[in-house]
Amino acid sequence: MRLIIAEKPSLARAIAAALPTTAKRQEGYLVAGDTTVTWCLGHLLEQAPPDAYDPAYKPWRRDHLPIVPSRWKLTPRPRARGQLSVIRSLLKQASVVVHAGDPDREGQLLVQEVIEYLGWKGAVARLLVNDLNRPAVARALARLEDNALFQPLYQAAESRARADWLYGINLTRAWTLIGRQAGIDGVLSVGRVQTPVLGLVVRRDEEIRRFVPYPFHVLWADLSVAAGTLRAWWVPGEQHRLDERGRLLERTPAEALAQRLVGAQGLVSSVETRQRRQAPPLPYSLSALQVDAARRHGLSAKAVLDICQRLYERHQLITYPRSDCRYLPEEHLTTLPRQLASACTNDPTLAGWLRGADLSRRSKAWNDKKVSAHHALAPTGRPFEPARLSSQEADVYRLIARNVIAQFYPPLETCEVKAEFLILEERFRASGQQVLVPGWKPLFTTREEAPPLPALNQGEACHVNAAEVEDKETTPPEPFTDASLIKAMMNIARYVDDPDVRKTLRDTDGLGTEATRASIIETLLDRGYLVRQGKALRATRLGVALIHSLPEAVSRPERTALWEQRLEAITNQADPSSFIDALVQDLHGLVGSADAAALSQAMATAQGESMAPASKGRRRKAGASNTGASNTGKGRKSAKGTRSSRSSKTRRTSRQTSGEGSR
């Protein structure tokens, strides 16, 4: 019997459907002739807790740190034991085993660790599927590879999992123990990903709190030219007092010029015209969808993820949602028009958009070379019936369908005009935009970015009809919201100075993954480090104190870039042990830097500043969910000796969320 082990049930179903024999469903697997297809449910295994290595580690003690296993152990996740038993039983009957994890680092780990844990000693083939369409899966089945070729990828993923465990376990225990001395009840969770995300919010809040506004002044003039009227803005020269952005800090020069302007004559000193063609926005990855759904519909990142899971699993309206890719397989071009026609029939909005589409068009979204483990989110072709969905589900579905339909619209073509005027020997500027071909734009908005300017010719005369000075004031940066924090995590390279680090972070996924970013935000809320104030995410006193008590390197994203460089080296066959050894050496210094007096001072300082209050609805005692202490999510003794457990929302069995508590 040939046994294929897929990463998830949806992939298993797609593989079974591509086999020549019709598959029959059994409990936990599918049978098609001499091939059996079973599946994992995300990670079935997780890193064992410290006391699995030595019962002495169950009580948390400073002199135990850093805890470094000499021989690593895995343990079954509680909710995965049943499926693990199914796979164990099937392996005993198998003559051939095929690894069908996603074609990425984590997908390689997820299935291979199960195969090895259950003691399979035979050869393993590798099936690489990144498109669930039946012809694509059938082609993948015809070109199996030797799983041994992917051993470096497995070692890199395994090293990442162990490193996150070492980092989260040891720093969480160290800071929890000094927290006890500082009078903080519960677990102070520290992780490679969650702590830099918290650091982003803390630093943004402090920038807002310390912001001192100052006034500046602008002068506009309404002008007449041969073809109409427009408004232009004065460009003060360097002889005036300006800030770093060229804004005028003294009102007097603007007032004096305004008094002379009305009735004055001038000329158009320059006209710059540029025509632009803008392709439609690409189909969504999960994070890109979370950003847009937050802005358009006020949905939290977690709400969007949950909605997508329902659209995928319950309603079967969209493809796999936890994707970091914004491109579609070229093969889908042949089937998507039919799928869109079926999907849009029952909704007037979608049907109207589809009527305006030219299905013979091909945008840059269709690109096999840019499709990774998964492709972009897209409709499956099942009829969309809004009445059977919640309003939020319908809103999110329309966004997903819209971005795919937009690929069959022409580019947006605009004419952008920038003009300068010379009036009383002073420079004025104006800009405008004219839409030449609306293309895909009406699917997204009917608002014009900037009104068009009247026709202008260099050297033509202009006349000042009115002028006025406006008093303005600088404003602080906006606090993070779900949308802007997700975007910051996606584009974390913007928040570092080192060019090499920036490049690494641009080349990777940033902080977190598509599926974990929402849970990271929710985790920080659950642990009382963040609180929602309307749409804003603000750091609490506890969150601020934790960041200020940690070494700066722990609360910044550079470590993720450094790890990615080393993991990439392992993928290219570097020795994994050197990465772990370097981390252990680093941990000795980090654990040794834990200082109760510094944490007490940080709490006192935070108390004296205007911190966001803890939310009564979300705030628990520090560490009431203690997944930051380990990868297990099983719960363990808190600092007071009481048992705690991961919330059901963050405990779901999925490979993307597994272990994130320690990250």
Q: How is 86-140 classified by DSSP, letter by letter?
A: HHHHHHHH-SEEEEE--SSHHHHHHHHHHHHHTT--S-EEE---S--SHHHHHHH
* pLDDT tens digits along 140-149: 999 999 999 9
Q: How many CB atoms lie under 10 A from the CB of residue 160?
A: 23
**627 within a domain of the structure (yes/no):** yes
Q: Are residues 344 and 429 in the same domain?
A: no
Q: How far apart are CA 521 and CA 535, in angstroms?
A: 13
Q: Are residues 628 and 534 in the same domain?
A: yes
Token pair 């135990």: residue:
64
Q: Are residues 234 and 256 in the same domain?
A: yes
At which of 390, 408, 426 does a domain end?
Answer: 408
**150 within a domain of the structure (yes/no):** no
Active site residues: 320
**43 within a domain of the structure (yes/no):** yes
At 612, is the pLDDT very low, low, confident or very high (cuts 50, 70, 90)? low
Would you call 234 helix, strand, or coil by DSSP? Answer: strand
Q: Are 229 and 452 in contact (CB under 8 A)?
A: no
Q: How far apart are CA 223 and CA 239, in angstroms?
A: 25
**390 within a domain of the structure (yes/no):** yes
Q: How far apart are CA 98 and CA 90, in angstroms?
A: 12
pTM listed for this prediction: 0.85
**631 within a domain of the structure (yes/no):** yes
Scored b (16 or more CB within 10 A) or e, 273-293 reads: eeeeeebbbbbbbbbbbbbbb
Q: Phi and psi for 352 in degrees, rounded to 5? A: -65, -40
Q: Are residues 25 and 106 in the same domain?
A: yes
Rounding to the nearest 10 degrees, give the CA dihedral for residues 165, 169, 172, 178.
-150
Q: How many domains does one find in the chain?
A: 4
At which of 118, 143, 168 does a domain end?
Answer: 143
Q: Are residues 625 and 539 in the same domain?
A: yes
> For residue 501, what are the CA distances in angstroms to 491, 510, 565?
12, 11, 9
At which of 426, 447, 473 does a domain end?
Answer: 473
Q: Are 12 and 37 in contact (CB under 8 A)?
A: yes
**528 within a domain of the structure (yes/no):** yes
Q: Are residues 356 and 452 in the same domain?
A: no
Q: Are residues 511 and 546 in the same domain?
A: yes
Q: How far apart are CA 483 and CA 288, in angstroms?
A: 9
SS (H, E, C) 569-626: HHHCCCCHHHHHHHHHHHHHHHHHCCCHHHHHHHHHHHHHCCCECCCCCCCCCECCCC
Structure tokens at 194: 């969650």
Q: What is the mean pLDDT of residues 461-483?
A: 96
Q: Are 73 and 175 in contact (CB under 8 A)?
A: no
Q: Are residues 191 and 275 in the same domain?
A: no
Q: What is the CATH number of the domain that holds 187?
A: 1.10.460.10
* pLDDT tens digits along 50-103: 999 999 999 999 999 999 999 999 999 988 899 999 999 999 999 999 999 988
Q: Are residues 541 and 511 in the same domain?
A: yes
Q: What is the CATH number of the domain that holds 260?
A: 2.70.20.10
Q: Are residues 562 and 427 in the same domain?
A: no
**610 within a domain of the structure (yes/no):** yes
Q: What is the CATH number of the domain that holds 336?
A: 1.10.290.10
Q: Are residues 175 and 248 in the same domain?
A: no
Q: Are 300 and 537 in contact (CB under 8 A)?
A: no
* pLDDT tens digits along 556-577: 988 887 888 888 889 888 899 9
Structure tokens at 542: 């506890």
Q: Are residues 133 and 163 in the same domain?
A: no
Q: How, if at all, do strands 412-423 and 265-278 pair?
A: antiparallel
Q: Is the pLDDT of residue 611 over 70?
A: no
Q: Which of the residue ranges 95-99, 223-227, 642-646 would you say has the lowest mean pLDDT?
A: 642-646
Residue 75 pairs in a beta bridge with 46
Q: What is the mean pLDDT of residues 114-127?
A: 96
Q: What domain range includes position 109?
A: 2-143
**98 within a domain of the structure (yes/no):** yes
At 638, is the pLDDT very low, low, confident or very high (cuts 50, 70, 90)? very low
Q: 170's torsion region: left (phi>0), alpha (psi -120 to 50) or beta?
A: alpha
